[in-house]
Amino acid sequence: MAAAVEIATPYHTSRDFVDAAQSITEQEDLRYASGNLSYLYNTYLLDHNHVTTDFNALKFSAAASQQLVTNETLTPGVKLSSKLIISPYNEPESLLDLDTLNLPNQLLAKAFTYLQPVLKDYATADYAESLNWDDIFRKLREFAAAEDYTWKEQSFYLVIFRSHLKSNIDNDLLFNLDHHSVKEACASGGLLKYWFGTKDQEHRNLATCVWRNREDAHKGGTGPWHRRARLAARELYQDIKFSTHTLTISDDVQSWSIEGIGGRSVPE
């Protein structure tokens, strides 16, 4: 007999289904138990504690993608969750609850677990060339196909931060401001991805985030830790610039574009 699969919070289901699903012992039964919601079980999320907390692995090796499993790779009895790792901070307060999103936003957030830089000089290089965008959108197309979902053109709110840190700054202060600001943004809702690199020899760095929409981004940036971060900017940075853009993904994920930066087709 197969071992029971422990469910933390299945996606968008009633309490009755949650209670019933916890007693199901067969993975295929679990997949179809929710009737017309069965497509939500083509990709499972491991509990975040199954994934490393190492910053470098999460920033540069797309370690968050290890949270995603399928029916073929799911180990019976492993703890599952609806909470997704969306930043280098793998901790409960910095996770995205997929229960709060519709399916296309869920799919994109999952695809973003594969985000990583492809250029060593990402801090100063062209933004569109610095990160593995084509890989992200190939994954998005795969996830949509697995759910039998027809992707329709949709836009998202993207923010780019380019910074030049001062020498001999208070690194603990910098870390705490960033760390608590991420938790604040996650609590607000709508943050699909936050990534930042490591400063180069000239103390330059790149950070970026993708939100469901501009309204979510505005709301997420109004908390006390974001205000503290803005007030500390002169103390920490020689220069910091941020720009906001519209990320548009076309029908069937055939192409993508970032307003003001450019776009391209998604290769097979």
- Picking from 241, 243, 242, 245, the residue whose alpha carbon sits closest to that of residue 258 is 245
Which pLDDT score, from 0 to 100, does residue 260 have? 85
Separation of alpha carbons 248 and 82, rounded Å: 26
Separation of alpha carbons 34 and 37, rounded Å: 5
Which pLDDT score, from 0 to 100, does residue 7 have? 31
Which pLDDT score, from 0 to 100, does residue 262 have? 62
What is the average per-residue pLDDT within 156-177? 95
> Three-state DSSP class for 53?
coil
pLDDT tops 90 at residue 198:
yes
What is the average per-residue pLDDT within 45-73? 95
pLDDT tops 80 at residue 266:
no
Which pLDDT score, from 0 to 100, does residue 72 have? 83
Separation of alpha carbons 253 and 69, rounded Å: 22
What is the average per-residue pLDDT within 243-256? 96
> Three-state DSSP class for 73?
coil
For residues 232 and 145, is the Cβ–Cβ distance under 8 A?
Answer: no
Separation of alpha carbons 24 and 121, rounded Å: 50
pLDDT tops 80 at residue 264:
no
Express each pLDDT in 31-42 by its tens digit: 333 333 333 458
In order of their start, the domains of the chain are 103-265 (3.30.70.100)
Degrees, nearest 5: CA angle 157-190-86: 95
What is the average per-residue pLDDT within 218-232? 93
- Picking from 95, 100, 111, 194, the residue whose alpha carbon sits closest to that of residue 151 is 111
